[in-house]
A = this chain, B = another copy of it.
Amino acid sequence: MDREIAAGDFCASGNRRALVERQLAALAACEPVVRAFATCDAAAARAALSSRGPLAGALIGVKDIITTADFPTRYGAYGAEERGPRRDAWCVAEVRRLGATILGKTACTEFAYPAPGPTTNPHDLTRTPGGSSSGSAAAVAAGFASFAFGTQTAGSTIRPASYCGVTGYKPSYGLLPLDGVQAISTTLDHLGIFARSPRDAWYLASAMLLRSPEILPARAPRRILVLDLPVAHEYGERIVELAASLARDGMAVDTQDLPFAAEDFTGLQQELCYWECARILRASAPARVVPQLEALLEPYAAMSIETYAAVRRRRDKHQAAFEALASDYDAVLTPAATGPAPSRESTGDAVMSRFFTALHVPAFSVPMWWADRLPLGLQLLGCLGQDRALAATAQWFFESAEPSGARHA
């Protein structure tokens, strides 16, 4: 997989024609084993060679819970009939307007439920790419596309980015409109972006949000907070060593335990998600997903609005506390997952992201380390709406990451 993993950064690419040709060659060679796409059209994607606009030459994969006019949307239920309307979601319409080419619909777990989908991890075909945005992460990791849209309701962008060794960006809640994206949980759903670098991710996001896209320079942070989270992980001493190394370079580095109750860290997002999802899915889930979810969601379907609202109020308080904590720092650092990608029997554990997703703050996963030839991502968190500053900091970490033959080939 080395050739594909080596496909380059979009902003840095001086020859986008060559980039597209390389991506389509990688797709032809490796998609049969990676299985990143539910549907794709490499022939039509050659239109990218002659497109115009700031995203000209950008091949983009679109998670299969996001509708498109030209590809069917099946929400990961690949045996099922086409379910989604033939209509471009907001994000798809925006990137097309800016010259991008949709390469296809990336495979995801069925209805974004944790049951594994068909996609493999390009770094090790026996491992999961993570979920639920499995194919989006794998398509960028395998060098098939410069970007992919995913979503994150718990950890479905940050975790697969970490497992696949690419950049994942979960913007502040509400920043990127969700029109055309299947709803899972009203106050938790976010659009996510997969890219080769934080600079690329910000280039795409800023193209959609601002008058013209920004090529953001890396910015060395001055103050960093390392959060020790109340869950086990396989990062070993890596983050401690990173903190020590930054401190030696003169950076102000603080370390502290998460100042929130551990049960809220592990459980608050699920309480919100299951209550909201229990209502949304009843009307819209494909019938064969329902049995899997029913046992999980049953207690929440019967839960009162007042009980749900009490969790919302706890979340509001945590948001204010996190804002007060994070506003003193350029970034808050944690592991992006509990370890490297596990076997394909699961899609891994979203616990490192769930709570922060519920807080609505921006998050990046940056490929930082390697463990047995598998990538390990660093998660950077910032204050609500400080996505641009966080992207510049994430780019600095990206550029300072542990070298790897595969990554820098």
Could you tell me which A residues sit within 8 Å of B by CB distance?
85-88, 90, 93-94, 97, 172-175, 177-179, 182-183, 186-187, 208-211, 276, 279-280, 282-284, 301-302, 304-306, 308-310, 312-313, 316, 319-320, 323, 383-388
Q: Which one of B87, B94, B178, B384 contacts A313 once the chains associate, using CB atoms below 8 Å? A: B384
How many copies of this chain does the complex contain? 2
* A280 & B388 in contact (Cβ 8 Å cutoff): no
Other than A85-B87, A175-B186, A304-B388, give 6 A-B pairs with Cβ distance below 8 A: A90-B283, A93-B283, A94-B283, A179-B182, A211-B302, A306-B388
* B319 & A323 in contact (Cβ 8 Å cutoff): no
Q: Which one of B85, B90, B94, B172 contacts A183 once the chains associate, using CB atoms below 8 Å? A: B90
* A210 & B280 in contact (Cβ 8 Å cutoff): no
* A177 & B276 in contact (Cβ 8 Å cutoff): yes
The CA of A49 and the CA of B97, in the complex, are separated in Å by 49
Q: Which residues from B are CB-within-8-Å of A90?
A: 183, 280, 283-284
* B209 & A309 in contact (Cβ 8 Å cutoff): no
Q: Which one of B85, B187, B208, B304 contacts A85 once the chains associate, using CB atoms below 8 Å? A: B85
Closest 4 pairs between A and B when the two form their complex, measured CB to CB: A309-B385, A85-B85, A93-B283, A174-B187
Give the one of A183, A284, A301 with max B CB within 10 A: A284
* A179 & B183 in contact (Cβ 8 Å cutoff): yes
- A279 in contact with B183 given A386-B306, A388-B305 (CB within 8 Å): no
CB distance from A75 to the nearest CB of B (A): 12
Q: Which residues from B are CB-within-8-Å of A304?
A: 210, 388
* A93 & B313 in contact (Cβ 8 Å cutoff): no
* B387 & A305 in contact (Cβ 8 Å cutoff): yes
* A283 & B97 in contact (Cβ 8 Å cutoff): yes
Give the one of A172, A186, A282, A384 with max B CB within 10 A: A186
CB distance from A71 to the nearest CB of B (A): 15
CB distance from A383 to the nearest CB of B (A): 8
Q: Which residues from B are CB-within-8-Å of A211?
A: 301-302
Q: Which residues from B are CB-within-8-Å of A87?
A: 85
* A183 & B174 in contact (Cβ 8 Å cutoff): no
Q: List 20 A-B contacts (CB under 8 A).
A: A90-B183, A90-B283, A93-B283, A94-B282, A173-B187, A174-B186, A179-B280, A179-B283, A209-B305, A211-B301, A304-B388, A305-B387, A306-B385, A308-B385, A309-B384, A309-B386, A312-B385, A313-B323, A313-B385, A320-B320
Give the one of A97, A175, A187, A305 with max B CB within 10 A: A305
* A279 & B177 in contact (Cβ 8 Å cutoff): yes
- A93 in contact with B305 given A87-B85, A178-B186, A313-B384 (CB within 8 Å): no
Give the one of A177, A284, A388 with max B CB within 10 A: A177
Q: Which residues from B are CB-within-8-Å of A309?
A: 172, 383-386
- A305 in contact with B85 given A90-B280, A90-B284 (CB within 8 Å): no
CB distance from A403 to the nearest CB of B (A): 32
Q: Which one of B276, B302, B313 contacts A174 once the chains associate, using CB atoms below 8 Å? A: B276
Closest-by-CB residue of B relative to A385 is B309
The CA of A175 and the CA of B186, in the complex, are separated in Å by 8
The CA of A312 and the CA of B173, in the complex, are separated in Å by 11
Q: Which residues from B are CB-within-8-Å of A85?
A: 85-87
CB distance from A20 to the nearest CB of B (A): 24
* A177 & B187 in contact (Cβ 8 Å cutoff): no
